[in-house]
């Protein structure tokens, strides 16, 4: 408010000086500033630092006033340049922090950043999906942008309780949200509030305490991942069936190299050549034509790990298949969809 008031007062004084110099100069026989219009032109030329020299004060009083007009012009031009620079810097800062949002759709959102979040993102990107990150640390924001400098990544600095941030990452158009907080209590409160805003949101959460798993599931989240529980199962498997553990580890990781194997799910949409087939017929045909192994179906949100041979594959089901890295693109082309939900 003070800055604005000072600008108004300065502007008024500047205009008054222009008016006074027009009065002072037109009284001189040698004057070339003979009207208010001439005085304004002199001020404009001075303000823009052009200095044509066609109008200038000739009287002593006029020269003194002209000096103040020159100083005032420097002040005005400095103010406007400062304002423009400030606005450009503010714009760039907002853009850097992700305040203008993203137009991503059918993407994944990771809320909360740490090493585990990075490992999750590293599995998503090789599959060709887009990921939007929300972090409450500017240091993490810089790290994310350094790690994922491509058009499939978007990072935003925001308070986790700022609901406007969710709209800016198109949360209502995403495939799933991964809530990745260190504190389970914070996760629980956050998920409850998020579910109120977006009741149909597909939410996956990271839980450090296995005892809270059921509580988090009761909030309506789709899946709860307990890192200690998953790690303990893998360690036990490596202890007494190491080759199975190696095979499992390879399957749950996103395939990157051509010889990597991966378990993937694909939604049966219109045009899928396996729609209407029996499970066994699709199993044989898929192995022959795509070198992929059909290992299960998802029907109405429920996984059928060993379907009956004659179970019909219908639109809206998900096919769960084991693929090799170099066949994924061929499968996506055949099915007409990317892997995932």
Per-domain residue ranges for the chain?
Answer: 2-96, 108-231, 255-335
Q: How far apart are CA 224 and CA 202, in angstroms?
A: 11
CATH superfamily of 255-335: Regulator of K+ conductance, C-terminal domain (3.30.70.1450)
pLDDT at 252: 67
**Hey, CA dihedral for 53, 54, 59, 64, is it positive or negative?**
negative
pLDDT at 69: 80
SS3 54: coil
User: If one looks up domain 2-96 in CATH, what number appears?
Assistant: 1.10.287.70
CATH 3.40.50.720 fits domain 108-231: yes
Q: What are phi and psi of 146, to 5 degrees?
A: -70, -35
Burial class of 300 by CB neighbour count within 10 A (0 to 12, 13 to 18, 19+): exposed
Residue 318 above 80 pLDDT?
A: yes
The per-residue pLDDT for 341 is 66
Structure confidence at residue 314 (pLDDT): 92
The Cα–Cα gap between 133 and 147 comes to 12
Provide, rounded to the nearest whole percent, the portion of the chain with pLDDT above 70. 94
Residues 331, 336: Cα–Cα separation, whole Å: 8
Reported as a single tens digit per residue, the pLDDT across 102-133 is: 999 989 999 999 888 898 888 888 778 899 99
Digit-coded pLDDT (tens) for 29-50: 777 878 888 888 888 888 777 7
Mean pLDDT over residues 170-196, rounded?
Answer: 90
What span, in angstroms and rounded, lies between the C-alpha atoms of 44 and 247? 78
Choose the most confident range, by mean pLDDT, from 15-24, 251-260, 313-322. 313-322
Task: Flag whether pLDDT at 153 surpasses 90.
Answer: yes
Q: Tokens 């893998």 sit at which residue?
A: 234
CA dist 62 and 55 (Å) reads 12
Higher pLDDT, 133 or 13: 133
Question: Who has greater pLDDT, 251 or 331?
Answer: 331
Question: Residue 263: enclosing H or E segment and its boundaries?
Answer: strand 261-267
In this structure, what token pair is assigned to residue 116? 């585990």
Q: Residue 1 — pLDDT band, cuts 50, 70, 90? A: low
pLDDT in tens, 128-148: 889 999 999 888 988 998 898
Residue position matching structure tokens 């396996």: 274
């Amino acid at each position: 408010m003070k800055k604005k008031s000072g600008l108004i007062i300065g502007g008024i004084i500047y205009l008054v000086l222009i008016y006074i110099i027009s009065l002072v100069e037109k009284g001189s026989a040698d004057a070339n500033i003979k009207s208010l219009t001439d005085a304004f032109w002199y001020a404009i030329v001075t303000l823009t630092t052009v200095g044509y020299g066609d109008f200038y004060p000739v009287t002593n009083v006029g020269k003194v006033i002209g000096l103040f007009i020159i100083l005032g012009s420097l002040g005005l031009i400095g103010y406007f340049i400062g304002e423009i620079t400030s606005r450009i810097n503010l714009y760039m800062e907002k853009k850097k922090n992700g305040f203008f949002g993203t137009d991503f759709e059918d993407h994944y959102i990771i809320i909360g950043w740490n090493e585990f979040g990075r490992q999750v993102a590293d599995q998503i990107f090789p599959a060709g999906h887009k990921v939007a990150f929300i972090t409450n640390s500017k240091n993490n924001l810089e790290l994310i942008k350094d790690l994922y400098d491509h058009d499939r990544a978007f990072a935003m600095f925001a308070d986790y309780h700022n609901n406007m941030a969710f709209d800016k990452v198109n949360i209502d158009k995403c495939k799933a949200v991964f809530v990745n907080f260190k504190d389970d209590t914070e996760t629980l409160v956050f998920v409850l509030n998020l579910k109120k805003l977006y009741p149909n949101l597909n939410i996956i959460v990271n839980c450090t305490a296995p005892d809270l798993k059921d509580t988090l599931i009761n909030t309506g989240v789709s899946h709860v991942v307990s890192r200690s529980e998953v790690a303990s199962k893998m360690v036990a498997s490596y202890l007494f069936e190491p080759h199975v553990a190696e095979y499992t580890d390879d399957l749950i990781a996103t395939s990157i190299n051509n010889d990597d194997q991966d378990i993937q799910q694909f939604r049966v949409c219109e045009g899928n050549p396996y729609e209407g087939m029996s499970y066994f017929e699709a199993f044989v045909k898929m192995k022959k034509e795509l070198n992929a192994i059909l290992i299960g179906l998802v029907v109405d949100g429920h996984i059928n790990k060993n379907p009956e041979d004659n179970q019909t594959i219908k639109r809206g089901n998900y096919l769960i298949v084991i693929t090799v890295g170099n066949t994924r693109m061929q499968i996506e082309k055949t099915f007409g969809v990317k892997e995932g939900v």
